[in-house]
Structure 1
Amino acid sequence: MPAPRPLDEVACRTSFARFRVASIVEGIALLVLVGIMTMRYGVYGGDTWFASTSPFWDQVSSVWSPIHGLIYMVYVVLGFDLWMKMRWALPRMLLLMFFGVIPVLSFFGERWTHQKVESDLELRPTLQDGERS
């Protein structure tokens, strides 16, 4: 059985840096979306006496929802890029995508992913191993 191909540590770290920024931006964007939806459906929705102010939140929601969707798509693409560079198994990719779905989870997922990247780069062979000797 041949030895596994070494990882390119520079490419992995660069990919993780992009994913880290995307995780933070996605986490903030999702929290904003949750706030907007709370205002739209929770506070100003339904048959209340102040339902006339709800068109404002309808408008805000119609603008922010596609922006958040685009941010999530960028997050998924950057997560996929990191997954490819690190050569992880499929469940890890699905977990990376899941981190961007639940509010606040992307912040914890970013920390967890950082630990996994660091431990994998330490344990697995990299192209830069010869330069450190």
Structure 2
Amino acid sequence: MTLYHAYRGLAYVVGVLLAVCALVALPLKYLLEDGSTLQQLGSDISFLWVVHGWVFMIYVVVAFLLSRRLGWTPQFTVLALVAGLVPLLIFWVERKVAQRARAEDPELAST
């Protein structure tokens, strides 16, 4: 597995985890009546925040290494690094990274 493919896989995992946490677990846990079944579900799946945090740390390292390999600008590097902190943004950034990788290093993106 190449660095590029590791980045793409991690981006999807981080994005899905953040979306589930922010758009499902958080509203269920804090916006519903205490003790309800759905509120309990939100509370039960809140452990995914911890999973997201650990996977996000790996994502940051891989994204940084890929940015050095492909010679991204500091602005684009920062965007890629923080994309996993804003729900759904990471999916757009991952597409931009894929487009750049194909344009700048077709061999890296094709393997």
TM superposition score category, shorter chain reference: 0.7 to 0.9
1:21 to 2, 9, 16: 9
For residues 75 and 18 of structure 1, what CA distance do their matches in structure 2 show?
Answer: 9
Larger radius of gyration: 1
Q: Under a length normalisation based on structure 2, what TM-score does the superposition of the two structures give? A: 0.80
Q: CA RMSD in A?
A: 2.1
1:120 to 104, 107, 111: 104
Greater share of residues in helix: 2
Q: Under a length normalisation based on structure 1, what TM-score does the superposition of the two structures give? A: 0.68
Aligned to 2:35: 52
Structure 1 unaligned spans of 5+ = 1-12, 45-49, 127-133
Q: What does the per-residue CA deviation read over 1:84-119, in whole Å, with 9 as the maximum and x for residues that have no partner?
A: 211222212101012212222211111111111121
Considering Cα pairs closer than 8 Å and 6+ residues apart, tell me whether 1 or 2 has the greater RCO: 1
Aligned to 2:27: 38
Structure 2 unaligned spans of 5+ = none
How many matched pairs?
A: 104
For residues 70 and 58 of structure 2, what CA distance do their matches in structure 1 show?
Answer: 18
For residues 17 and 29 of structure 2, what CA distance do their matches in structure 1 show?
Answer: 16
